[in-house]
Amino acid sequence: MSESIISVERVTKQVQDSTGVLTILHEIEFALAARQSAAIVGASGSGKSTLLSIIAGLDTPSTGTVRLAGHDLFALGEDARAAVRAAQLGFVFQSFQLLGNLNALENVMLPLELQGRNDARALATEMLRRVGLGERLSHYPKVLSGGEQQRVALARAFVVKPAVLLADEPTGSLDFATGEKVMELMFELNRESGTTLVLVTHDRGIAARCDRQLHIEAGRLVVAEAV
């Protein structure tokens, strides 16, 4: 494989609970080249969201290393890690994480504004239109349906054309047709901008469209080969 954009090296995550130490992830190891797409699949509770959060530098591993675009994420301080994240990553959370005091347009403009772009409004409007929310620009998250909130979260992640897009069940709240449209957008971003995709999904069809399928069972990677 050529230069990896993501490299996960022996990542283990343990937490303390009332009964002792719980191992959520056990020595996970894989690497992705730029432009690759990977699906993380596995049963509920197997550790998929935890792994995605660690790759994003939002959660810390107990042991192991994550390299993102050449940066050893957990060797960096909090601020430097946040800067790498802002420069390289789009993240779509399972719970969307929209800012409630900003409307749809403002939520999508935010990452562009953080990059100091002066065309934020036009780009954010266009991206919301592409996810089918051109008529919902000034709606606040609390009046949007679950699927509409998910599409705002996707638009916010897509709009900066990140080097890496991490998405946790990105079509989980969408009807079939809208889900298809959103997936098309994601693979378009992959083709046109070279964005590396890492998707957690329960949808076999989506998993099959990815270059790689990473199967997690009870915190262990059981298959990690090219398909």
Q: Does 46 bind Mg ion (CB under 5 A)?
A: no
Q: Where are the alpha helices (DSSP H) in 92-201?
A: 104-114, 120-130, 146-158, 176-193
For residue 114, which amino acid is it? Answer: L
Among 36, 49, 173, 195, binds Mg ion (CB under 5 A): 49
**Closest CB 94 distance from Mg ion, rounded Å:** 5
51 in Cβ contact with 29 (< 8 Å): no
Q: Which does 15 bind (CB under 5 to 8 A by kind): Mg ion, ligand ATP, none?
A: ligand ATP
Class of residue 224 by CB neighbours under 10 A (exposed 0-12, middle 13-18, buried 19+): middle
Q: Which residue has the tokens 């890496």?
A: 164
Closer of 4 and 49 to Mg ion (Cβ): 49
3-state secondary structure of 88: helix
**Closest CB 90 distance from Mg ion, rounded Å:** 18
Closer of 181 and 215 to ligand ATP (Cβ): 215
Q: Does 18 bind ligand ATP (CB under 6 A)?
A: no
Q: Does 46 bind ligand ATP (CB under 6 A)?
A: yes
- Binding interface with Mg ion (CB under 5 A): 49
